[in-house]
Amino acid sequence: MKYVGMQTQIRRNNMLSVLLLLLFPLIILVTVWGFLALVNYFGNSSYDASGQLIRQLDIATVNAYFLQTLPWVVGIVGVWFAIAYFANASMVSRAVRSRPLERRENPRVYNIVENLCMTCNMEMPAINIVNDRQLNAFASGINSKSYAVTLTTGMLDLLDDDELAGVIGHELTHIRNRDTRLLITSIIFVGIISTVMSLIVRTMYHVMWTGSGRREKDKGGLSVFFVVLLVGIVCCAIAYFFTSLTRFAISRKREYMADAGGAELCGNPLALASALKKISNNPGLDHVNREDVAQLFIVHPDEMNSGLLGFMSGLFSTHPDTQKRIEILEQF
């Protein structure tokens, strides 16, 4: 199999990054408007002459409140995104508990990375290490200042030089293809939406049990309950939609292309296939409980594949089957 299409992949990832940047504020604003509309609908109730409860949505009032909250929403989310975007390196590092690896600690790894970078004429990224006997690796970063390749100590102990070169070549290809920029952008987006969803649901739950929900138990308690329920459903649906969108946008093809790029860089496809076999037997970083960060890994941790949620996650997985990747590499 000949490795082709790198520039096409780069253009595709750049376009997807722009698309996500455009969709994100739209989804946030739609969520805010929907929240205000639900509150207005259930709060704007009256009884007719026969005692029948009547509810109606006052679009003009909803739009007026929406315009008042718009600057605050845009400002807060904008600042939040900017901080997360430029602090992505430390964010990922904290999630996986990694630290910088110095040359004097392991000259072997530095020599492999330097040789591969010279082969493909790219700037050398930072090298990080995770103290974990299990096996995994990933690339991260949005630009030359934040690009990094992270390896577990298990990888350094169990993989020989050729296998390690194949894995590092795979991760360097992710950086060259701008895969990492797209992945980091999606991680930030999903994180913000999940947090906003959680805050809205927690706030409404608190109001229901400690505020007006108790004072208006007879008349308005049921209305408050439905507001909480519908807001939760809407927010969960939006979060699920956005997560699915980013998973579909991040095509499984990127892993096949990174495998091909890694095989080309190290000059030994069978070495990368051998490394994937070893990693798939003990894929590490199980302590990382964030699915958005786990999508960076060369092999998805086993602990995240169990149960119903793991099955549903697999339907939208950003990683193809490892055995299939190995079979393709063995056909080079």
Catalytic position from the list 105, 123, 171, 255: 171
The span from the CA of 243 to the CA of 294, in Å, is 14
Annotate 147-181 with three-state secondary structure. CEEEEEHHHHHHCCHHHHHHHHHHHHHHHHCCHHH
Report the distance separating Cα 167 and Cα 135, nearest Å: 11
- The encoded tokens of residue 51 equal 């005692």
d(CA 230, CA 141): 37
Answer yes or no: are the C-beta atoms of 194 and 239 closer than 8 Å. yes
Q: Name the one residue in this structure whose structure tokens are 């009032």.
A: 61
Report d(CA 58, CA 46) in Å as an integer.
Answer: 13
Determine whether 327 is an active site residue: no
- Nearest CA to 158 out of 330, 300, 277 is that of 277
Active site residues: 171
